[in-house]
Structure 1
Amino acid sequence: MVGRKKRTTICDKELQKEDLISNLHEPLISEILLRLSTKDAVRTSLLSKRWRYLWQTVPGLDLALYDFLNINFSNIDAFFKFVERFFDSHRESWIRKLRLYLGYRHHICGLKSWIDAVTRPKIQHLDVNYYSSDEIPVSIYTCETLVHLRLEWVSLPNTEFVSLPCLKIMHLKRIRFTSDTTLEKLISGSPVLEDLKLFGCSNHNAIQLRSHTLKKIDMDMDHSSGFVIDAPLLQCLKTKIASTKDFQIISSGFPAKLDIDLQWRRRRPLERPPKKVIRDILADIRRVSDLVITSDILKEFFLYSKSRTVRQFRNLSRLHARFAICDIEMLPALLESCTKLESLIMVI
């Protein structure tokens, strides 16, 4: 009897938990569903009559085309009609979040109109992954409420004017720029930008990254003619160096944290990087107190000059080192070089 009573109590508690969630006001439930993908939000309609239509009130659309083609829709036309119905149902209300992962095998003729529809009202989060020669509409450059922008594979048109007064996070991956000045305008037109990520983009001319608010820059470029960084509040710079050090920091202040990886050995396993590249990296490391580094760079430092390496690391207080097992013998010399070290993280 005691055991039965205990199980009943647990069931009652579970029912109470369900009631607490179901009895929340619709605006709060809508905020919860906004954190889910649209696919998962739609699934909540099966919970009860109370939840049947709640997902339709969510001020956001988060869709990955491949998920819906495999699970919900039999063809691309059905997907297109679903998105159109969503925008029709929100015509009188504003959309805060739009995330579309469309891939590269399908042509989405309505993409421009969809982006136009959300950038004119009060969208805050825009995330588009779509491989196409079609350019994103220029309305994206003057969205007054946009806070988080993430674009992948898209083509950005040239523009004379950018005004993104609320944009704090901008992540651009595999972007095709019609002009090298487009990126400079994006940054200069974002007066509160704090987090910038550039991955797999290409620039033919040196680009000026000027911002009085940037705190974090993450760069991993395929082909780059270099960046001149003028960001006095920069706290962290993360970058990968392939053949040359393609960035120069001209700010009065230098970031406290540097996360740097050398890809030379992966691309040229039989060659060593030029001494100038190593010397330039060492000059930057001398100025930071927090360093994330790989064993490839450490090995080059020790081969370059052990005595110089000892002097270069003496100001570090935090070190995160990614070691290969075969390079672990460098650890004692590395620790001797870090006389002010307070925190050490090793990943092997």
Structure 2
Amino acid sequence: MEMIEKEAQFQEEKDIISGLPDCILVEILSRIPYTKYAIRTGTLSKRWKHIWTCVYNLNFSCLDPHGNKIENSKFISSIDKTLTQFRCLKLNKFKLLTVYDAQFYSQINNWIHYAIDCKVEQLDIALLPQSNVQFPLHELFFINSCFRDLRVSGCEFNPTAAISWKQLRSLCISKVKLDEDLIENILCGSPLLETLKLDDCYGYRRLNISSKSVKNLVFAGYWVPLCDHFEDDDDDDVIEINAPYILSLKIKSGLSFWKLRLLDVSSLVKAHLSYRFGGRYERAREEAEEEEEMLKKLILKLCHVKELQFGDDCLKALSRLEAKGFIFPSNLNVDVASPLYSIDDILELELKLITRFVRIS
């Protein structure tokens, strides 16, 4: 009897949903995290068969629900099939997470062009290379007036002309080689940019944020490939950040060098220090003087901020400093970094899963 009642309740709820107008159903399906699940609703009834083809968010990941990697050719063909059936002319979001294999360059390039043709506003491309070969972004990628939120990981930035992202508000670049000129090109071409995150990027020595529009800067690690490691000259082993107009600064994740120097950060209101040392310096943690000296200089440079937040590793270094007599500025409002995961943390975890499969293969 109970089973019959539950079945009746399910059918009633199903009928209520099916009775909604198509525009509401499209809205519901567009909020489903992964496109493959939205597609499966097409089996519910004849009416549902094509509704998913009008969603305005597309999300493709090469990981299955259990975190296992889907075989490349199967994953590629599934996206090709999906896009041939897709009918929406305007995309809000397009996300692609996979391992990059050069033999599939044409397909991946076509997908990105498809998203651009659909005037996508949020584009999230994470292509982790199987070797040292990264996916080269097409020149048209760097000239776009629709991008508002852009995330790019594991791709080759090599624009041959001035970048033009006139509507871009948020930019996250991960595991990409950047030099000072390229960073300046990005900033000049993004007049409305408010938030910039560099996640494990490398190739530059000075991060000069000259744009007055950028208010939030996240420096999330400095990743140096083995073939691009710094020379052994410790005097050059330093990264400088000059950002006179930013209001918020986060320095987090792993650093593969000992010296991070803040220049002009006079407008800062809030700072977050939760970095750790790794790479070729990981074995030198017993000799902590350099780490402590860097933290002390950062704190003294940030003594004007209203809120200063520390992660675990920085708190340990601070404790050692205070044990040696360092007097913490009394005007600073100190907080401990929250252990809760943010959306960015979840995205980073997803990328780490893909990286694991790359290393295994």
Structures share fold, TM-score greater than 0.5: yes
Superimposed CA distance per residue, residues 65-114 of structure 1 (whole angstroms, 9 cap, x where no aligned partner)? 3449x99x8871x5444433444445782333221122145631222232
- Give the direction of change, closer, same or farther, for the CA distance of 1:75–1:206 in structure 2 (3 Å limit): closer
- Give the direction of change, closer, same or farther, for the CA distance of 1:14–1:316 in structure 2 (3 Å limit): farther
Query: Shift in Å at residue 253 of structure 1?
Result: 0.9
| Structure 1 counterpart SS, 2:209 | strand
Structure 2 residue 121 is the aligned partner of structure 1 residue 124: yes
More moved, 256-265 vs 134-143: 256-265
What is residue 300 of structure 1 aligned with on the other side? Answer: 317
1-side partners of 2:249 and 2:241: how far apart? Answer: 15
What is residue 35 of structure 2 aligned with on the other side? Answer: 38
- Give the direction of change, closer, same or farther, for the CA distance of 1:310–1:145 in structure 2 (3 Å limit): same
| 2:54/2:88 contact within 8 Å kept | no
One-letter amino acid of the structure 1 residue matched with residue 119 of structure 2: K
1-side partners of 2:261 and 2:166: how far apart? Answer: 27
| Structure 2 counterpart SS, 1:207 | strand
| 1:262/1:294 contact within 8 Å kept | no
What is residue 229 of structure 1 aligned with on the other side? Answer: 242
1-side partners of 2:205 and 2:140: how far apart? Answer: 26
What is residue 331 of structure 1 aligned with on the other side? Answer: none
- Give the direction of change, closer, same or farther, for the CA distance of 1:105–1:113 in structure 2 (3 Å limit): closer
| 1:123/1:145 contact within 8 Å kept | yes
What is residue 306 of structure 2 aligned with on the other side? Answer: 289
| 1:209/1:227 contact within 8 Å kept | no
Query: Shift in Å at residue 153 of structure 1?
Result: 1.1
1-side partners of 2:150 and 2:303: how far apart? Answer: 34
Superimposed CA distance per residue, residues 42-75 of structure 1 (whole angstroms, 9 cap, x where no aligned partner)? 122233332222112223431123449x99x887
| TM-score normalised per structure 1 | 0.76
1-side partners of 2:242 and 2:270: how far apart? Answer: 15
| 1:136/1:155 contact within 8 Å kept | yes
What is residue 18 of structure 1 aligned with on the other side? Answer: 14
Structure 2 residue 171 is the aligned partner of structure 1 residue 170: yes
2:111 equivalent among 93, 110, 114? 114
- Give the direction of change, closer, same or farther, for the CA distance of 1:322–1:268 in structure 2 (3 Å limit): farther
What is residue 182 of structure 1 aligned with on the other side? Answer: 182
1-side partners of 2:148 and 2:250: how far apart? Answer: 21
2-side partners of 1:142 and 1:160: how far apart? Answer: 9
| TM-score normalised per structure 2 | 0.73
Query: Shift in Å at residue 120 of structure 1?
Result: 4.0
One-letter amino acid of the structure 2 residue matched with residue 317 of structure 1: N
One-letter amino acid of the structure 1 residue matched with residue 213 of structure 2: T
* Aligned-pair Cα RMSD in Å: 3.5
Query: Shift in Å at residue 9 of structure 1?
Result: 8.2
| 1:237/1:255 contact within 8 Å kept | no
2:284 equivalent among 263, 268, 275? 268
Runs of 5+ unmatched residues, structure 2: 225-236, 340-361
The residue correspondences of 1:70-149 to structure 2 (distance < 5 A) are: 76=73, 79-90=75-86, 93-105=89-101, 107-108=103-104, 109-130=106-127, 131=129, 132-149=133-150
Query: Shift in Å at residue 283 of structure 1?
Result: 0.6
What is residue 260 of structure 2 aligned with on the other side? Answer: 246
What is residue 256 of structure 1 aligned with on the other side? Answer: 270
- Give the direction of change, closer, same or farther, for the CA distance of 1:210–1:315 in structure 2 (3 Å limit): same
Structure 2 residue 44 is the aligned partner of structure 1 residue 47: yes
- Give the direction of change, closer, same or farther, for the CA distance of 1:272–1:66 in structure 2 (3 Å limit): closer
- Give the direction of change, closer, same or farther, for the CA distance of 1:75–1:295 in structure 2 (3 Å limit): closer
2-side partners of 1:202 and 1:59: how far apart? Answer: 34
What is residue 201 of structure 1 aligned with on the other side? Answer: 201
Please say which structure displays the higher CA radius of gyration.
1
Q: Percent of counterpart pairs with the same letter? A: 20
Query: Shift in Å at residue 221 of structure 1?
Result: 0.9
| 2:22/2:51 contact within 8 Å kept | yes
Query: Shift in Å at residue 214 of structure 1?
Result: 2.4
| 1:194/1:214 contact within 8 Å kept | yes
| 1:162/1:186 contact within 8 Å kept | yes
Runs of 5+ unmatched residues, structure 1: 324-348
2-side partners of 1:229 and 1:16: how far apart? Answer: 61
| Structure 1 counterpart SS, 2:241 | strand
- Give the direction of change, closer, same or farther, for the CA distance of 1:211–1:245 in structure 2 (3 Å limit): farther
2-side partners of 1:311 and 1:84: how far apart? Answer: 58
Structure 2 residue 213 is the aligned partner of structure 1 residue 213: yes
Query: Shift in Å at residue 295 of structure 1?
Result: 4.4
